[in-house]
Amino acid sequence: MIDEQGYRANIGIVIANNKGQTLLAKRFGKNSWQFPQGGIDRGEDELAALYRELYEEVGLGKHQVEVIAKTPKWLRYELPKQYVRNDSPACIGQKQVWFLLKLTAPESSINLCKHKEIEFDDWKWVDYWSPIEQVIPFKRDVYEDMLKALAPVLFNNNHQVPRHCQRPLKFSAILYTPLHK
């Protein structure tokens, strides 16, 4: 779904392990690493999109993760001109709601080949803050804002923001409670 401003609605997924590391995935056939993410279909709510994208991109079902928190608002980035498609309507960027998940199944459950359209061909556990430097530059501000918001939840306020992350914290994560499930 593309809104009237040209932003595609999207779900972002941060999967953490018991060590506080996050799952970073490599785009199929490219040397480009990112968190799993994907569009919200027309008529689909955020949670349905989250679980659909989770399965399509990393092969995990909702019984294999625990939803811990989410960002409280849309985070936007604009695409560089060379990435903008002149479809109708034109998509100039993405607006994303990010979810923090805890992997509860064995990591061997991660399967990048379950969906017919494979989006990633490799994955790895990385230090929580490293994706900011590894993601394509036009997504870095969103990654920094999102990781700063989710870190207090994952690390129980026992974390330190790296020096290179100087943007002010703009919002806090929303804890995901059973009332939301």
What is the rounded average pLDDT of the residues 133-147?
94
- Residue pLDDT, tens place only, 13-72: 999 999 999 999 999 999 999 999 999 999 999 999 999 999 999 999 999 999 999 999
Handedness of CA 181, 75, 158, 50 (dihedral sign): positive
Does residue 180 surpass a pLDDT of 50? no
pLDDT: is 88 or 102 the higher one? 102
Strand (E) or helix (H) holding 142 = helix 140-154
The domain segmentation of the chain, as residue ranges, is 7-180
**Closest CA relative to residue 69, chosen from 166, 157, 5, 138:** 157
Beta bridge partners of 120: 27
Q: Identity (one letter) of the amino acid at 126? A: V
Percent of the chain that is helix, strand, coil (3-state, to 5) = 25, 30, 45
Residues 6 or more apart whose Cβ sits within 8 Å of residue 166: none
What is the rounded average pLDDT of the residues 93-118?
94
E strand residue ranges, 93-153: 93-103, 120-126
Q: According to the model, what pLDDT value does residue 15 have?
A: 98
What is the rounded average pLDDT of the residues 89-109?
94
What is the rounded average pLDDT of the residues 111-134?
93
Does residue 133 surpass a pLDDT of 80? yes
CATH fold, domain 7-180, is Nucleoside Triphosphate Pyrophosphohydrolase (3.90.79)
Residue 150, number of CB atoms within 10 A of its CB: 23
